[in-house]
Every structure is written in C-alpha cells, then in structure tokens.
Amino acid sequence: EVQLAESGGGLVQPGRSLRLSCAASGFTFSDYAMHWVRQAPGKGLEWVSGISWNSGGIEYGDSVKGRFTLFRDNAKKSLYLQMNSLRPDDTALYYCVKDRGAALGRHKGLDVWGQGTTVTVS
C-alpha cells in the first residue's frame, strides 16, 4: 500500500525551529517529486515547497522562502522540511504529498497525501 507518514509537528514558540519528516512506503520514492502542502485551521490549501526526484530542483512558496529548507534522502525514502524563524501564521496542518511526475517542471498532479502533522506556533 502506498503511504506517506508525517512526523515532527508540535507546539513551538515564535522564532524557534522545527523539522518535519515524511516516511514513504509502497512506491519507488526516488522516482517522484515530492511536496509539502499546508492548511491553516478553517482555511484552504497552500503549497509550501517542492523537490524534484534527484533534488535537482527545489522551490518554495513566497511566504516561507528564506526560512524553510526542503531536502530528501532517497536511500531512506524520506522527505524533510526544516522550518526556521517560525511565525504564528505558520500554524497549520502540514501534508507530505507525492507528485505524479519526477521533476517539478513536469508536474502532473498530487496523487498521494499523508494524514498530516500539526504545527502550532504560539
């Protein structure tokens, strides 16, 4: 079964850091681009960041650029999001998401979503 399992969320004070992890199983992780998408309470979906299959392309949403760093370890089938200088408006449920394509520029839709990990900045 194709699965994504996020971890690392929690309550953190403004200005502090947090690292989210995502463990993938049931598919060849190294063949696909991966993303983080977040959803603030009662709000819509917001794309945070994405990374190509080989880490050759990494992009960030405007609200997190310069504060968040996305990286992956294909050998460990894992995706990570290092979040620094956290702000109250970063409070959200963070989803790890699989792309149907391998490269960001060849994005083909987001076909597998984890259940999310909650980050609260307060």
Q: Which residues contact other proteins by CB under 8 A?
A: 35, 37, 44-47, 50, 57, 59, 61-62, 95, 100, 104-105, 107-111, 113-116
**Which residue, 32 or 95, is less far from other proteins as judged by CB?**
95
Question: Minimum CB separation from other proteins for residue 23, in Å?
Answer: 16
**Which residue, 17 or 22, is less far from other proteins as judged by CB?**
22
Question: Minimum CB separation from other proteins for residue 59, in Å?
Answer: 5
**Which residue, 87 or 100, is less far from other proteins as judged by CB?**
100
Q: Which two tokens stand for residue 93?
A: 């449920």
79 vs 15, 31, 43, 50, CA distance in Å?
A: 23, 13, 24, 10
**Which residue, 27 or 47, is less far from other proteins as judged by CB?**
47
Look up tokens 């794309």; give the residue.
Answer: 47
Report which of 122, 47, 49, 50 is spatially closest to residue 91, judged by C-alpha positions: 122
Question: Minimum CB separation from other proteins for residue 7, in Å?
Answer: 15
Question: Minimum CB separation from other proteins for residue 88, in Å?
Answer: 21
Q: HSE of 93 in the Cβ direction (CA atoms, 13 Å)?
A: 12
| Residue 8 CB neighbours (<10 A) | 16
Q: What is the C-alpha to C-alpha distance for residues 48 and 62, in angstroms, rounded to an integer?
A: 8
